[in-house]
Amino acid sequence: MSRNNAGLSAERIIAEALRIIDGMGLRSLTMRRLGDALQVEAMAIYHHFPLGKEQLFGAIVEYISDPGRAAGEAAPPDGEDDGAAEEPEADARPWDERLRDWAHDYRAALLRHSGALPLMIHRRPDTATALRSTELHYAAFAEAGLAPASVPAAAAALDSYVVGAVVHQVRSEGLPSREPAAIDRRFPTVAALRGTGPGPDHAFTTGLDALLRGLCGGPG
């Protein structure tokens, strides 16, 4: 087992890549560094991702976007899978609760791996994982009473808001630029309200409520 068969797998590679991205940033994710972390030569990774780094990036995006993974990520790997309990069986909770839960879970997953955000931008979400989310959105908005023609735009708005909120938060928490502009009398309203708002979590919920209210009409 020393030379060949070092126990590599796509799962392990992706997990280790994410650890590097989260800890040192996307730029630091190098095939050689990843190989080192996996106790393997860099080229060994190409046996599991023959199309190279781009393919690995795609797998990372899909891994992050998988809501089932987010739940199992924190918990210790108990061992066996759940076997036959795979079918979604038509969630009975009210539509808005389903959407809110999805939004919070997705936001949490993106925030946990915010270093990988640039990877998502130019990849089309056409995997089964992504389509499951869209299906969930469409069904919920239809159930909310929206006209069929309005459903896709509503789902797009919801997804836009969640991703955008994460980007907004990550941007605001980034390193300050070399020459930040002073908040002086040029920006009176900003100066007056500076730091008075709620934290990002509460702000997210507020905006989400507003968007859902605006999309589905009525006060809630």
Partner DNA sequence: ATCCTAGACTTACCGTGTAAAGCCGGTGGA
Partner DNA sequence: TCCACCGGCTTTACACGGTAAGTCTAGGAT
Residues that bind DNA (CB under 7 A): 1, 3-8, 29-33, 35, 40-44, 46-48, 52-54
Report the chain's C-alpha Rg in angstroms.
21
Binding partner selected for residue 65 from DNA, a second copy, none, CB under the kind-specific 5 to 8 Å limit: none
Of 13-21, 34-42, 89-97, 116-124, the segment contacting a second copy by CB under 8 A is 116-124
Look-up of token digits 């507020």: 206
Of 9-17, 28-36, 67-75, 192-200, the segment contacting a second copy by CB under 8 A is 192-200
Residue type, position 178, single letter: R
**Reduced 3-state DSSP string for 56-93:** HHHHHHHHHHCHHHHHHHHCCCCCCCCCCCCCCCCCCC
**Residues near 67 by beta carbon (within 8 Å), at least 6 away in sequence:** 102, 105, 106, 109, 129, 132, 133
Question: How far apart are CB 63 and DNA at their closest, in Å?
Answer: 18
Binding partner selected for residue 123 from DNA, a second copy, none, CB under the kind-specific 5 to 8 Å limit: a second copy
213 binds a second copy (CB under 8 A): yes
Question: Other C-beta atoms within 10 Å of 46: how many?
Answer: 15
Of 11-19, 35-43, 68-76, 128-136, the segment contacting a second copy by CB under 8 A is 128-136
Burial status of residue 141 (CB atoms within 10 A of its CB: 0-12, 13-18, 19 or more): buried
149 binds a second copy (CB under 8 A): yes
Binding partner selected for residue 127 from DNA, a second copy, none, CB under the kind-specific 5 to 8 Å limit: a second copy
37 binds a second copy (CB under 8 A): no
Please say which residue, 40 or 64, places its beta carbon nearer to a second copy. Answer: 64
Binding residue count for a second copy, defined by CB under 8 A:
75
Instruction: Give the pair of three-digit tokens for residue 174.
Output: 């980034």
